[in-house]
Structure 1
Amino acid sequence: MNDRISPREFHASEGVSDWRVVFDGARAHFSSGSFEKGAALVFAIAELADAAGHHPDVELRYSSVTVRLISHDVGDISRRDLALAQRISEAADELGIAADPSRVQVVQIAVDALDIPRVLPFWEAVLGYRQDGDEDVVDPLGHGPNVWFQQMDAPRPQRNRIHIDVSVPRDEAERRVAAAVAAGGRIVNDAFAPGYWTLADPESNEVDVAPWRDDSD
């Protein structure tokens, strides 16, 4: 079933103000305030997911619940994710649990490599991860950030070749960049903004801040 939906279409739909599309799907962070209320929301999500035949990733913490939706058969978000997101938000509202979209983010480690097939197995082994496609290794338990390998065309001395990617909602990205600059960082490259900004700390270690993907992605 190819019912893929673009991030722009997702965000333009009714009933998804709790949700933001980032690197790895649509996410929502619900501030439950207690483990008991969070567990009640997780139970409601489980019932909705079983009824829909479509299951999200859910993380229950003492005072919050984080939910990720993605359709693995299309490799992206779909209308199934949209429908389930709407129902989950309705369930959270009925339980009196509010969402905090500013807490949505995904962190990944990016490694620039000249020979990805040689470099990738090392990181897969040392982290205890598993390979996912030709350019990623992922935590099979879903706890740690994934590692993405970016193809280099030529050696690049005098500059770090490992950086962090932080995917945040589009309406959060500029605030996050401004906070990083105020904390002593600097903007290295904003030519692709608002797609992404490259920042560096005071010792020139780099991080990319990128919002949810454009409709063209």
Structure 2
Amino acid sequence: MNNQDVLGKQQISDYLKDLPHWREAPGAIAAVFQAKTSAVAIELLGEIARIAEVDQHHPDVDWRYNKIFVTTTSHDAGGAVTTRDIALASKISERAQALGVAARHELIATVEVCIDSDDPQRIVPQWAAGLGYRVMDDGSLVDPDRRLPAIWFQETVSPNPNRFHLDIWKPYSESSVVLDTLRDQEAVLDDQEAPSFVVATDRQGNRFCICTERDR
């Protein structure tokens, strides 16, 4: 398979069976590594930078004390997962293991802001201008530096009175813990579309969705 090839969902799932540190995220694969010290975390960060330079394929990396958050996608393939991402993830995992750094799957998460609208095209340019975001082919908005949450517009003929909600993406393998905690907090859960997503409503009627990679 050529390194430029975009992987389908089943192919990604098959590859991830051999990459236990990694989980599927929206348009990417992601991992979180926690070291015993910040110095070791920085060492892993340096290793990731070296690997990326050699491969000429650069992931998004966030260093927080003794944790390293890594997301990789192929931007030149339209923001999809390719075999280059799989190869990069494998090399990063090898270095993490060599440094004795543990994976923290439960910390993998992506947050998107969603806006209900009966005519998204009327408002997309205004939001893009205000945020300095890039308009994607599917009409969603992304931060060019991929630091801030993406925004997407849910077209509906009857927008909810509360037009804003968050999509909180968690790996399916970790989502049951989140949902159980929400039940303990007496949130109202609508699981008609589970496991793709579950709509949670808080005590004051505000909504957010717990989304996973399954059945999409």
Normalized against structure 1, the TM-score is what? 0.89
Normalized against structure 2, the TM-score is what? 0.90
- Does structure 2 conserve the Cα–Cα contact (< 8 Å) formed by 1:23 and 1:213? no
Shift of 1:9: 2.7
Give the Cα–Cα distance (whole angstroms) in 2 for the partners of residues 28 and 208 of structure 1: 21
Shift of 1:108: 0.3
| Runs of 5+ consecutive residues of structure 2 not aligned to the other structure | none
- Does structure 1 conserve the Cα–Cα contact (< 8 Å) formed by 2:23 and 2:31? yes
1:6-155 correspondence to structure 2 within 5 Å = 6-13=8-15, 15-75=18-78, 76-152=80-156, 154-155=157-158
For residues 158-178 of structure 1, the C-alpha deviation after alignment (integer angstroms, 9 at most, x for no partner) is: x32211101100111122112
Matching residue's letter, 2:187 = G
Q: How many residues align?
A: 212
Give the Cα–Cα distance (whole angstroms) in 2 for the partners of residues 79 and 151 of structure 1: 33
Larger relative contact order (Cα-Cα within 8 Å, sequence gap ≥ 6): 1
SS at match of 1:33: coil
SS at match of 1:73: helix
Give the Cα–Cα distance (whole angstroms) in 2 for the partners of residues 127 and 72 of structure 1: 20
For residues 34-69 of structure 1, the C-alpha deviation after alignment (integer angstroms, 9 at most, x for no partner) is: 321111111111221222222111111211101111
For residues 170-206 of structure 1, the C-alpha deviation after alignment (integer angstroms, 9 at most, x for no partner) is: 111122112112113111x211111111111111111
SS at match of 1:16: coil
Give 1:161's match in structure 2, choosing from 121, 142, 163: 163
Matching residue's letter, 1:48 = I
Identity %: 31
Matching residue's letter, 2:73 = I
- Does structure 1 conserve the Cα–Cα contact (< 8 Å) formed by 2:29 and 2:72? yes
Matching residue's letter, 1:137 = L
Shift of 1:134: 4.5
